[in-house]
C-alpha cells in the first residue's frame, strides 16, 4: 500500500500539468451591434390644388384656361398639381357658388377667368391668392384706385386682355374712311364691356364720328338688340364681351345679311362673325397668368405686389370669309385669321 502512494501522487501531478497546459476557453462573442436606423425617405413634394372658375365656355376664355394650365403644369410638374376646373355657364351667381366651394376646400390658389369670376373670387376670400385673366380693367373690376404696374395691394393679381380703344377707333377709320356713324353692341351686365365701349366712344368723339350704344341684358335679347343695332350705321363695334362671344353666330346672321363691317374686340369673336379686329392671344395671356401662379406657389412671390400683365404686340387680323360674304376688299397690312 505504501508503495502505491508515490505512484498516485505522480499521476495527480501529471494530470495537473496537463490541465494547466490546456488551451484557454475562447472569450464570449460580443453581441452584434444594433442595426443603424433606416435612412428617412425624403418627404413627398407638395401637391398643389388650384381652383379654376371660368365664367362661360367660348373660344377665347377656353384658350386662356388652356394657356394657364399649360404654364402651371410646366412650372410645377403634372404630378404636383391638381386642377378643380368649373364653368359657371355665364351666370355670376354660379361664379360665387364655385368660388365659395374653393375656399371651403382650402385650395392653394384660385384662377378667375373673366371679370365676374374675379369679382366672385374676391368676395369669397381675402387670404387665398387670386389670379385673374381675360379681365380688361382690374381697378374698375375691384373698385380700387391702383397702379397696374405695382399691383393691387390685395390678394389679387393676374393678366389683362385690355387693348386701347384708340386702336379700334383707328381700325374703323382705316377700313371705313367715310364712316359717319358706328353702333356699339354689348351686354350691359359686363363691366369690362362698359369700360371698353366708353373708351371707344371717347376716341370716336375726337374723330368726329357719331356712335350709338345698343345693350342686351342676356342672351335672350341678343337677336332683337342686334337687329336694331344693324340699322342706320356704317359699322358695328363689339368689345370683348363674353355674352356676345358666345352668340356670334346669331349676330353674324344679322350683320352679314345687312352687309355691315363688324369690328370685334378679339380674334375668336372675329373668326365667328366679324370682319376685323386688333387681336391679342388669349392663350398667351392665360399662359402668363400660369407663370404668375408658379411664381406665387413655388417661389413665394407676393401676389399683392405682382404687376398686372398685359398682352404684347396686338395684330390687325380679318375674317376672309366674312369679307367675301359682304363684298368687302381688305386693305394691305391685315393678317387673315387661320391663314
Distance between CA atoms of residues 16 and 161, nearest Å: 108
Q: State residue 312's pLDDT score.
A: 83
- Residue 101: count of CB within 10 angstroms of its CB: 15
Q: Locate the domains of the chain by residue range.
A: 48-162+281-307, 165-279+315-336
Q: State residue 339's pLDDT score.
A: 66
Distance between CA atoms of residues 301 and 266, nearest Å: 31
187-212 pLDDT, tens per residue?
Answer: 999 988 999 999 999 999 999 999 99
Dihedral angle computed from the Cα positions of residues 88, 94, 98 and 99, in that order, rounded to the nearest 10 degrees:
110
Q: What is the pTM of this model?
A: 0.80
Residue 43, pLDDT above cutoff 90: no
Residue 36, pLDDT above cutoff 90: no
Q: Which CATH architecture has domain 48-162+281-307?
A: 3-Layer(aba) Sandwich (3.40)
The stretch 52-58 carries a mean pLDDT of 96
The stretch 50-69 carries a mean pLDDT of 97
Q: State residue 137's pLDDT score.
A: 93
Cβ–Cβ < 8 Å for 92, 60: no
Residue 255, pLDDT above cutoff 60: yes
272-292 pLDDT, tens per residue?
Answer: 999 999 989 999 999 999 999
The reply to whether domains 48-162+281-307 and 165-279+315-336 share a CATH topology is yes
Residue 321, pLDDT above cutoff 80: yes
Residue 61, pLDDT above cutoff 80: yes
Residue 212: φ, ψ to 5°: -140, 135
Q: State residue 219's pLDDT score.
A: 86
Between 49 and 39, name the one with better pLDDT.
Answer: 49
Distance between CA atoms of residues 134 and 68, nearest Å: 11
The answer to whether domain 165-279+315-336 has CATH 3.40.50.2300 is yes
Q: State residue 218's pLDDT score.
A: 86
Least confident of 117-121, 160-164, 200-204, 321-325: 160-164
Q: What is the DSSP letter of 305?
A: G
Residue 59, pLDDT above cutoff 60: yes
108-144 pLDDT, tens per residue?
Answer: 999 999 999 999 999 999 999 999 999 999 999 999 9
Q: What burial letters (b/e) apply to 254-277, b meaning 16+ CB within 10 Å?
A: bbbebebbbbbbbbbbbbbbbbbb
Grid coordinates belonging to 107: 385650395
Least confident of 24-38, 143-157, 271-285: 24-38
Q: What is the mean pLDDT of the chain?
A: 89
How far from chain centre, in Å, is Cα 42? Answer: 32
Q: State residue 35's pLDDT score.
A: 47
The stretch 165-185 carries a mean pLDDT of 97
Cβ–Cβ < 8 Å for 255, 244: no
Distance between CA atoms of residues 279 and 275, nearest Å: 12
Q: State residue 46's pLDDT score.
A: 87
Q: State residue 41's pLDDT score.
A: 41
How far from chain centre, in Å, is Cα 180? Answer: 39
Amino acid at each position: 500500500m505504501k508503495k502505491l502512494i508515490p505512484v498516485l501522487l505522480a499521476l495527480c501531478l501529471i494530470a495537473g500539468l496537463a490541465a494547466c497546459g490546456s488551451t484557454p476557453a475562447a472569450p464570449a462573442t460580443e453581441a452584434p451591434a444594433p442595426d443603424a436606423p433606416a435612412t428617412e425617405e425624403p418627404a413627398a413634394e407638395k401637391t398643389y390644388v388650384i381652383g379654376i372658375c371660368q365664367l362661360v365656355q367660348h373660344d377665347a376664355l377656353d384658350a386662356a384656361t388652356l394657356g394657364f394650365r399649360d404654364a402651371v403644369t410646366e412650372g410645377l410638374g403634372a404630378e404636383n398639381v391638381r386642377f378643380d376646373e368649373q364653368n359657371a355657364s355665364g351666370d355670376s351667381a354660379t361664379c360665387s357658388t364655385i368660388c365659395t366651394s374653393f375656399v371651403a376646400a382650402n385650395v392653394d390658389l384660385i384662377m378667375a377667368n373673366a371679370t365676374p369670376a374675379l369679382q366672385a373670387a374676391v368676395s369669397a376670400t381675402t387670404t387665398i391668392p387670386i389670379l385673374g385673366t381675360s379681365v380688361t380693367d382690374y381697378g374698375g373690376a375691384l373698385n380700387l384706385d391702383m397702379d397696374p404696374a405695382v399691383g393691387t395691394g390685395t390678394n389679387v393679381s393676374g393678366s389683362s386682355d385690355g387693348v386701347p380703344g384708340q386702336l379700334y377707333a383707328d381700325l374703323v377709320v382705316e377700313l371705313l374712311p367715310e364712316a359717319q356713324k358706328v353702333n356699339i353692341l354689348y351686354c350691359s351686365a359686363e363691366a369690362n364691356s362698359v369700360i371698353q365701349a366708353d373708351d371707344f366712344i371717347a376716341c370716336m368723339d375726337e374723330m368726329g364720328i357719331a356712335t350709338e350704344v345698343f345693350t342686351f341684358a342676356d342672351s335672350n335679347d341678343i337677336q332683337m338688340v342686334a337687329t336694331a343695332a344693324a340699322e342706320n350705321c356704317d359699322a358695328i363695334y363689339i368689345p370683348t364681351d363674353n355674352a356676345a362671344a358666345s352668340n356670334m353666330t346669331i349676330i353674324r346672321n344679322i350683320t352679314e345679311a345687312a352687309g355691315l363691317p363688324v369690328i370685334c374686340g378679339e380674334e375668336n369673336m372675329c373668326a365667328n362673325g366679324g370682319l376685323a379686329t386688333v387681336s391679342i392671344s388669349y392663350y398667351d395671356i392665360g399662359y402668363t397668368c400660369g407663370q404668375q401662379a408658379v411664381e406665387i406657389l413655388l417661389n413665394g412671390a407676393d401676389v399683392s405686389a405682382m404687376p398686372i400683365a398685359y398682352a404684347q404686340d396686338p395684330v390687325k387680323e380679318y375674317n376672309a370669309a366674312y369679307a367675301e360674304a359682304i363684298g368687302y376688299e381688305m386693305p394691305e397690312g391685315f393678317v387673315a385669321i387661320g391663314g
